[in-house]
Structure 1
Amino acid sequence: YGVLPKPPQPGERKPAIGKRLERWYLSRHLDRCFDRAEEHCEPAPLPAPPAPRAGGVRRAARALARADRPLLLVGSQAMLHALSAAELQRAIEQLGLPVYLSGMARGLLGAAHPLLKRHKRREALREADCVVLAGVPSDFRLDYGRHVGRKATLIAANRSADDLEKNRRPQIGAEADPALFLAELAEVGAGLHARWREWGEQLAVRDAEREQEIAAQAAVEPAPAESGVTGLNPLHLLRGLDEFLDDDAVLVADGGDFVGTASYIVRARSPFGWLDPGVFGTLGVGGGFALGAKVARPESEVWILYGDGSVAYSLMEFDTFVRHGVPVIALVGNDASWAQIARDQIAVLGDDVGTVLASTDYHFAAEALGGKGLSIDHPDEIVPAFAQARVWARAGHPVLLNARLARSEFRKGSISL
């Protein structure tokens, strides 16, 4: 549409030639930007996921047939097609491999599937004689491939040719969608899982032993800090949350040390029941992920697991939650620290500079934005606070629970990025 020029005012001088040239140049540029705005463009169809080659699938099936201690690792890339999650679940069950789920794949098999393993992954990888990586690169999380034993047969499926062979080249590699690869592998290699039952039971015993260790650590009452305040044991808090959650709950992970601890304790309930911040733990996803999750699944409780370092990145989204009536629940693990960074920094450099935070009243900020807030300061307040948050959320209010944590050595030695 044409724009009428502003009529000259009485006594107004005509713009200088330089000003007119500047206006002409800018108008010409804008016209070029928007001259096709009225044209309708059909969206291009999404490309089909890359399928694996039949020969590679058969080779992988033969390798599994020879294996006594196989292991399957499934990562976020296997979940790229949300509608195929049920097919992927069936394929994993048909294969019968003991499986570790990471990233967005958490919850794919529910909270307590017999094939699902959660603890002692490094030990299992070192003992396995055949490892299948489905959408999992050999990056720092696998010590650049060194977690897998050198004598083990490594099978990998990845959409990225670079990630497929990164750091450690698999004996059998498929540049393909990992979910499709597992589905076709299940068709070829079904019926083998009976011989792996003893191996699976061995891993299950380790899982149970580790759960007992965590329960014992969760029962320890923290020592008072220098300020004289005794914070909550984060393991006790998170075990309470795991017991409290509904089966259809959606968890949004947005934090470092607190979320890392939660990944050992809080179980995702269903496919896409854990929204992950990615391989580098990208802070700030909490508010946006929770908003989308609650709109997509309005009947589900949506919980954000915030660290007190990460909460500041999207705390203002409580304004959005209130204005649009999106009743999510946020649990802030408040230990007044960038704890994941502080662990290595203080141990290596002897200096806490840049890692110390205030024990801020984040729940008051949520209230100021129109939501509801509670502070959890004592262990006997945990379950009542969760219950009150549920009541408020079901009444349509977004809620923030500010849990004051004691320092924990649970993740001592973890990798910081």
Structure 2
Amino acid sequence: MESAKHAGDVAVAVSRAYGAETMFTLSGGHVFPLYDGAVHEGMRILDVRHEQSAVFAAEATARLTRKPGLAVLTAGPGITNGVSGVATAHFNGSPVVVLGGRAPQSRWGSGALQEMDHPPLLEPITKLSFTASGADSVGHDVEMAFRTAVAPHRGPVFLDFYMDHLFAPSQPHAVETQTPSPLEPDPDDLAAIARLLAEAERPVLVYGSDVWMDRAEEAARDFAETWRLPVIPNGQGRGILPAGHELLVTRARGLAFAQADLVVVVGTPLDFRLGYGWFGGKDGAPLARVVHIADAPSQLATHMQPAAKAAGDLSVVFWGLGAACGDAGVKTEKYASWVSKLSEAAAAAIAGDAELLAADADPIHPMRIYGELNRVLDDDAVVIGDGGDFVSYAGKYVEPRRPGNWLDPGPYGCLGTGLGYSIAARLARPSSQVVLLLGDGAAGFSLMDVDTLVRHRLPVVMICGNNGIWGLEKHPMQLLYGYDVAAELQPHCRYDQVVTALGGGGELVTDPSEIGPALRRAFDSGIPYMVNIATDPQIAYPRNTTGV
């Protein structure tokens, strides 16, 4: 770019320099100069039907490409509509930059349209939330936003601009993007972890999303294979060891966590998904010792004291820990019987699923859907979960074959992510299958953005598990009180006809024998297509109270 017309040009040029390729947005006059800048800079503008979908799409872009995602939101309600997406990015550690409009400074305090001081609202769920001080500061401020978002530990940043500043002339900003030196873990911390591994007889590795986000998936797989350690993945850690790998013991998760004497958790919080870090202690056995490894010190557990911990670039951690294991005399044969026990338990669980995965029960059991889906998924398929019980079954029965191909809302558990995620997935992986798994409750949050898929010619296969209830609430409420309220949805609601009305395709399936043919029609259609499957409302996903 030879010269900038206005601050919007500068903001977009800096965004492009940091790897942002698509601007996700919903049109608003406060941010017109950013659109004009995107036109000048050749950046794709993808407009959605609700601002939350714009932020969810930016977040999914960050998680799939490991580059920062960009969302642009107009002032006031445009920004408040995007808050759930920002909160989701915060809990997922996703590097997202949200650029917002703001009422003109020249009218500030006089009641201008959508006048609101946004940064204090966003501050608790961002790494940084601030307002550009003037037109000439825009380049520097946008660069600060992106640099902050991608630095460990990654996360969202919010920056808004006074409308009159954004329209004003601004000088081009020279960007010198530099790859920061990786954060080195403390060698003493790695040595302490290696000593624990040398002492352990029943260790388990847990790989979380930050292993993928830190580009450490190859180092993580090599570490597990070298030291013959069983692995349970979490979030985007799924696929680091592909489906069928002998060390992948997801289906023996309960046994592994109950009987482990050492659990090494890498790249994910010790939150409710992992029983808050409490493992073992079953059948008279002592609690397992726990190791927590994160990409930054701020992510290490503080609610409990692990037996050992380390923080740093996760590839460097795995390389250093491998060397430390050699120095500590770790013997892989010591774990052989434990690995065999877990592998056999996982194989037995998989074999035991065969009947339900092929069941002809009427109403349809949710597991039958995943039995059929697994037959048609390609190795590089991107699978997105947006729902409660229905998506919980997917987490159990759909095992990715490659890393970086699974998306769910993460620990914040926000429904409505699915359409934004699927928009981003189709752009990021244009040659891959993109499958969106929707509970019928989740479908109500964002289904209007099928219009976005249609307008931008983004084919996605949507599978709706339609049991006509809020299953995650109805069954527990009945267990607690003997009744339920506010937990009913319309049975057999024709969400597929919503998709059809918006220009896509779809069908309702009530016969289990029609699931497979319907899925094949969906993948062959080349358009946004929903397979709306009526499932048994009496079936509840089996859960325990500990999260493990």
Aligned: 1:189 with 2:189: no
Q: 2:211 aligns with which of 78, 81, 98?
A: 78
Which amino acid is 1:200 matched to? V
The answer for the alignment partner of 2:536 in structure 1 is 406
Output one character per residue of 1:242-266: Cα deviation in whole Å (capped at 9) or x when no partner.
1221111110111111000111111
* Contact kept? 1:137, 1:166, Cα under 8 Å: no
1-structure distance, mates of 2:512, 2:263: 42
What TM-score comes out, normalization by structure 1 length? 0.84
State the shift of 1:303 in Å: 0.3
2:205 and 2:264 in contact (8 A); partners too = yes
The answer to whether the 8 A contact 1:134-1:179 is kept is no
SS in 2 for 1:283: coil
Unmatched 5+ residue regions in structure 1? Answer: 3-21, 223-229
Q: Which residue of 2 aligns with 1:388?
A: 521
1:139-173, CA deviations, whole angstroms, 9 ceiling, x for partnerless residues? Answer: 22232222244453321112454652333211111
Residue 86 of structure 1 and its aligned partner are, at CA, apart by: 2.8
Please tell me whether residue 291 in structure 1 is matched to residue 423 in structure 2: yes
The residue number in structure 2 matching 1:60 is: 193
Name 1:155's counterpart in structure 2. 291
Q: What's the secondary structure of 1:310's corresponding residue? A: helix
Structure 2, unpaired ranges of 5+: 7-105, 113-133, 135-161
1:386 & 1:270 partners in 2: Cα distance?
22
Map residues 1-400 of structure 1 onto 2, 5 A cutoff: 30-31=163-164, 35=168, 37-40=170-173, 42=175, 45=178, 47-82=180-215, 84-149=216-281, 150-159=286-295, 161=297, 163-189=299-325, 192-222=331-361, 230-358=362-490, 359-393=492-526, 397-400=527-530
Shift of 1:273: 1.3
Larger Rg: 1
Question: Amino acid of the residue matched to residue 256 of structure 2?
Answer: A
Aligned length, in residue pairs? 387
Distance in 1 between the 2:171 and 2:388 partners?
Answer: 46
TM-score by length of 2: 0.65
For 1:155, give the aligned amino acid. Answer: V
| RMSD, aligned α-carbons | 2.8
Moved more, 360-369 or 85-94: 85-94
8 A contact 2:386–2:417 mirrored in 1? yes
Aligned to 1:227: none
Alpha-carbon shift at residue 371 of structure 1 (Å): 0.8
Distance 2:237 2:269 in 1: 14
The residue type equivalent to 2:463 in the other structure is L
- For 1:187 and 1:231, the matched residues in 2 are separated by 55
Could you say what secondary structure the match of 1:309 adopts? helix
Tell me what 2:119 maps to.
none
User: Do the aligned partners of 1:261 and 1:410 also contact (CA within 8 Å) in 2?
Assistant: no
How many Å apart are 1:415 and its aligned residue? 6.0
CA distance in 1, matches of 2:505, 2:546: 33
The residue matched to 2:251 in structure 1 has which SS?
coil
- Aligned residue type for 1:69: R
Residue type matched to 1:182 in 2?
F
How far the C-alpha of 1:23 sits from its partner, in A, is 6.4
1:374/1:401 contact within 8 Å kept:
yes
> How far apart, in 1, do the equivalents of 2:108 and 2:534 lie?
60
